[in-house]
């Protein structure tokens, strides 16, 4: 079980690295005016999303489900139900990032860099909620 837990943590950290960095790239992309810079951001965003963020999210979920179903970690507890809500919100945020990535790829972004700065704070709030639920198990 310790290997499964370690892998779950490693891939969760990997996923969050992308969840933190991709919206920051969106901030800079939204501020960019030159064609060369815009094209560079498109490549960086695509590679981050598909090469790091998505594999990290999928593997974090796989190992998390393995812990939950295979070992019964948190089964039937309130904190685990709340953590699953946090995970579903993270998956939704991840998919929203994909939509925004596609908008940028098609040069259809309509949001300002300020909007992306606020959007970038969402995974921080969800990280705090998830860690507090797992460590403190408040209910």
From CA 22, how far away is CA 100, in angstroms rounded? 10
From CA 120, how far away is CA 36, in angstroms rounded? 24
Q: What pLDDT sits at residue 75?
A: 86
Range of the domain at 93: 2-136
Q: What pLDDT sits at residue 102?
A: 98
Residue closest to 105 by CA, chosen among 23, 43, 18, 19: 43
Domain count, the chain: 1
How does DSSP classify residue 34?
A: S
Q: What pLDDT sits at residue 19?
A: 98
Cβ neighbours, 10 Å, residue 11 = 20
pTM: 0.95
Q: What pLDDT sits at residue 71?
A: 87
What's the token pair of residue 68?
């939950």
Q: What pLDDT sits at residue 109?
A: 98
CA neighbours closer than 13 Å in the CB half-sphere of residue 81: 5
From CA 19, how far away is CA 40, in angstroms rounded? 19
pLDDT tens, residue by residue, 28-67: 999 999 999 999 999 999 999 999 999 999 999 999 999 9
Q: What pLDDT sits at residue 25?
A: 98
From the number of C-beta atoms within 10 Å of its C-beta (0-12, 13-18, 19+), residue 100 rates as buried
What's the token pair of residue 49?
């999303």
pLDDT tens, residue by residue, 69-123: 998 888 889 999 999 999 999 999 999 999 999 999 999 999 999 999 999 999 9
């Amino acid at each position: 079980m310790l290997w499964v837990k370690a892998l779950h943590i490693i891939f969760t950290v990997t996923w969050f690295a992308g969840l933190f960095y991709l919206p920051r790239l969106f901030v800079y992309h939204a501020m960019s005016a030159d064609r060369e810079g815009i094209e560079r951001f498109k490549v960086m965003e695509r590679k981050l999303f598909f090469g790091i963020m998505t594999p990290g999210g999928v593997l974090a979920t796989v190992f998390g489900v393995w812990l939950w179903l295979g070992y019964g970690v948190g089964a039937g507890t309130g904190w685990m139900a709340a953590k699953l809500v946090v995970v579903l919100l993270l998956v939704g945020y991840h998919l929203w990032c994909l939509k925004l990535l596609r908008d940028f790829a098609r040069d259809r972004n309509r949001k300002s860099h300020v909007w992306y700065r606020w959007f970038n704070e969402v995974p921080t709030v969800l990280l705090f909620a998830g860690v507090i639920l797992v460590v403190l198990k408040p209910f």
